[in-house]
Amino acid sequence: MAGSIRAIVTTVRRGQRYTEVNRALAAHTAKALGIPNVPRGNDSLEELRAAYNADAVLVARRGLLTLVTAEGELFFHPGMAHLRIKNLLLGHGDHLVTALGLTAGMHVLDCTLGTGADAIVESFAVGEAGTVTALESNPLIAAVIADGLAHATGDNYEMHAAMRRVIVHNTDALAFLQAAADDSYDVVYFDPMFRRPLHESAGMNALRSIADMRALTEETIVEARRVARRRVVMKERRESAEFERLGFTRFMGGKYSRIAYAVMDC
């Protein structure tokens, strides 16, 4: 079991590249998550899912983890941050980096890792002298994305280095904040699952099917303000009632964007 989701881990079928690496990754993942490591044989993933009554199958493929659910596949894809880093290199800016007020050497606590795209952009923005600590409460999402950040190849050197520097913890944001010292990060960022999804995609559907869907609590925001030296930032749909409920009154982001970054100074 990984949380309340029944999961197994396996490899791609025999005869494909990276066989030994895949086997070792499956064995390591099974141990780390406490889930069955199932020999793939010639079964389809559907057959394995039915045979083991599993909601999700982690597959070690080309030395990286992919998560397959009935809703779609979640895999780490550095391309999601690629364009944003390219824009930053060209001096065009990025709405998240502006909202967080990131400069080189800052320490970021990203409370909602998800696909890791925002964390990579933050990591690039704070550079080698800074740190990005990213939290993910779902153990399967944390495993797939932490594995990709640590082992996938970035599209260029800057991106590759930024990926490797992200520190991932599989934990609940409130629990982590409660244990953190006052003013221990420059900024704390939340991008919780939207109350209503903006658009559908196979990757997001797979993530959505297992993601932690809870709304942020006022207690979490109080703790975040204690832990952040400069600001607490939350992303949501522009018209979301969540901002008012949690006490955010200042907004940043693209003028015509359907999402907004709400900023609270500490």
Ligand X SMILES: C[S@@+](CC[C@H](N)C(=O)[O-])C[C@H]1O[C@@H](n2cnc3c(N)ncnc32)[C@H](O)[C@@H]1O
Binding site residues, ligand X, CB under 6 A: 111-112, 114-115, 117-118, 135-138, 141, 172-173, 191-193, 207, 211-212, 214
Kindly state the smallest distance separating residue 194's Cβ from ligand X, in Å.
Answer: 7
Q: Are 197 and 204 in contact (CB under 8 A)?
A: yes
Q: Which is nearer to ligand X, 37 or 112 (CB)?
A: 112
Give the nearest distance from C-beta 256 to ligand X in angstroms.
21
Q: Which residues pair with 68 in a beta bridge?
A: 57, 73
Name the closest residue to ligand X (Cβ).
114
Q: Which is nearer to ligand X, 88 or 117 (CB)?
A: 117
Distance in Å, CB of 212 to ligand X, minimum = 4
Decide if 117 contacts 81 (C-beta within 8 A): yes
For residue 118, the minimal CB distance to ligand X (Å) is 3
For 162, other C-beta atoms within 10 Å of its C-beta total 26
Residue that is written with structure tokens 């983890």 in the block: 65
Structure-block tokens of residue 18: 């990276």
Closest approach of ligand X to the CB of residue 110, in Å: 7
**CB nearer ligand X, residue 186 or residue 191:** 191
Q: Which of 8, 81 has the CB closer to ligand X?
A: 81
* Look-up of token digits 């975040």: 224
Q: At 69, which amino acid appears?
A: T
CB-nearer residue toward ligand X: 59 or 234: 234
Q: Are 260 and 235 in contact (CB under 8 A)?
A: yes
Identity of the residue, 71 or 191, whose beta carbon is nearer to ligand X in the bound complex = 191
Compute and round to an integer the Cα radius of gyration of the chain: 19
Report, in this order, helix, strand and coil percent for the chain, each rounded to 5. Answer: 40, 25, 40
Q: Measured from the CB of residue 19, what is the shortest distance to ligand X in angstroms? A: 30
Beta bridge partners of 236: 260
Of 112 and 131, CB closest to ligand X: 112
Q: Residue 41: left (phi > 0), alpha (psi -120 to 50), or beta?
A: left
To which residue do tokens 């809870």 refer? 214
Whether the CB-CB separation of 102 and 126 falls below 8 Å is answered with yes
Name the strand (E) or helix (H) holding 2.
none
Q: 71 or 136, CB closer to ligand X? A: 136
With left for phi above 0 and alpha for psi between -120 and 50, is residue 262 left, alpha or beta?
beta
Q: How far is the CB of 97 from ligand X (least distance, A)?
A: 13
The minimum distance between CB 90 and ligand X, in angstroms, equals 21
